[in-house]
Amino acid sequence: MADSFWLKGLLSLSVLPVLLVTMAHPTQAQESGDGPARILFIGAHPDDCDVGAGGTAALLARHGHAVKFVSLTNGDAGHYEMGGGPLAKRRRAEAHEAARRLGIDEYEVLHYHDGELRPTLEVRRDVIRLIREWDADVVVGHRPNDYHPDHRYAGRVVQDAAYMVQVPNVLPKVEPTEGNPVFLYFEDGFEKPTPFEHDITVAVDEVIDTKIAALDAHESQFYEWLPWVNDALDEVPEGEEARRAWLKKQWTAPVPDDARENLAEWYGEEQAQEVQYAESFQIAEYGRQPSDAEIRRLFPMLGQ
């Protein structure tokens, strides 16, 4: 907490104690843990949430939590033969099918053009609206250091919205959140300026095939665009079963040591050593800082 932005001279000392209480502590409703949690995943493209959290989302839904995926762009540039409106329509349909396969509540695709996302006030207002309307307990997004500008700016705009979601005079027609959600980052492999930290690592072995089925729904990406980018179109097999097996091989990897260490913290050493597939999340310094007990409430699959 000591190195958070509001401690660096951006706010007067007269309001600092109030803000620290608001940001650091859950509201009474959040502490009580009544009812299912509401989790909002925000990606830059229609498939980003599936890659970063498809297994976790499926598990959350199975535990009765309300889960929504959002893509800030419509994906209308991600192909080598088609684009614009027809591609955007195709990718929206793929996203909806992926949501059905995962068993989550909703997959919303916004109108911003693929490759042109910027952290503007317009996009920030949309993100604030999305968080408020979903009444999110947890918001998951990209870290703002990434190879893709849309990923970077999607991460930035979620950060920019993190405090503002609870400010009544910002977007006053949409009721503000009661307190601040927990903000998390999807896992990535970028080292600069800082490497990803495995704070919450979820074992997804039991739903890995469900996650692969969701990726399979994004045919335009995983069987066309991405193989084309990697000069591997000729490697894509024919037939549904062969394709999904190929997809699983391409889009899963051994659990890294630091993720397995975190698994042991949540599941115990013995169970952690048996995990083959996992998804990790980093707790952002923006938003509410959850206790271990709250994390277990929000992610009830931990330790099971």
At residue 33, the pLDDT reads 57
Asked if the model's pLDDT at residue 298 lies above 50, the reply is yes
Whether omega before 193 lies within 30 degrees of 0, making that bond cis, reads yes
Average pLDDT estimate for 276-287: 96
Q: Under a CB-based contact definition with an 8 Å cutoff, are residues 202 and 278 in contact?
A: yes
Neighbours of 230 (CB within 10 A): 10
The residues facing 202 across adjacent strands are 279
Asked if the model's pLDDT at residue 92 lies above 70, the reply is yes
At residue 304, the pLDDT reads 64
Q: Is 136 among the domain residues?
A: yes
Q: Is 232 among the domain residues?
A: yes
At residue 17, the pLDDT reads 34
Least confident of 12-21, 43-52, 224-233, 244-253: 12-21
CA dihedral for 166, 168, 170, 172, sign (positive or negative): positive
pTM, full prediction: 0.89
3-class SS of residue 141: strand
At residue 13, the pLDDT reads 30
3-class SS of residue 59: helix
Q: How confident is the model at residue 14 (pLDDT cuts 50, 70, 90)?
A: very low
* Percent with pLDDT over 90 in the chain: 88
Average pLDDT estimate for 143-166: 96
Average pLDDT estimate for 23-42: 65
Residue ranges making up the domain that contains 284: 5-298
Q: Is 190 among the domain residues?
A: yes
The domain total for the chain is 1
Q: Is 15 among the domain residues?
A: yes
Q: How confident is the model at residue 34 (pLDDT cuts 50, 70, 90)?
A: low
Q: Is 304 among the domain residues?
A: no
Average pLDDT estimate for 255-273: 97
Backbone angles phi, psi at 26, to 5 degrees: -70, 155
Asked if the model's pLDDT at residue 245 lies above 70, the reply is yes
Q: Is 264 among the domain residues?
A: yes
Q: What CATH number is given to the structural domain containing 203?
A: 3.40.50.10320
Q: Is 303 among the domain residues?
A: no
DSSP codes, 146-209: -SSHHHHHHHHHHHHHHHHTT-TTSSTTSPPPSS--EEEEE-----SS-----SEEEE-GGGHH
Average pLDDT estimate for 129-136: 98
Q: Is 126 among the domain residues?
A: yes
At residue 202, the pLDDT reads 98
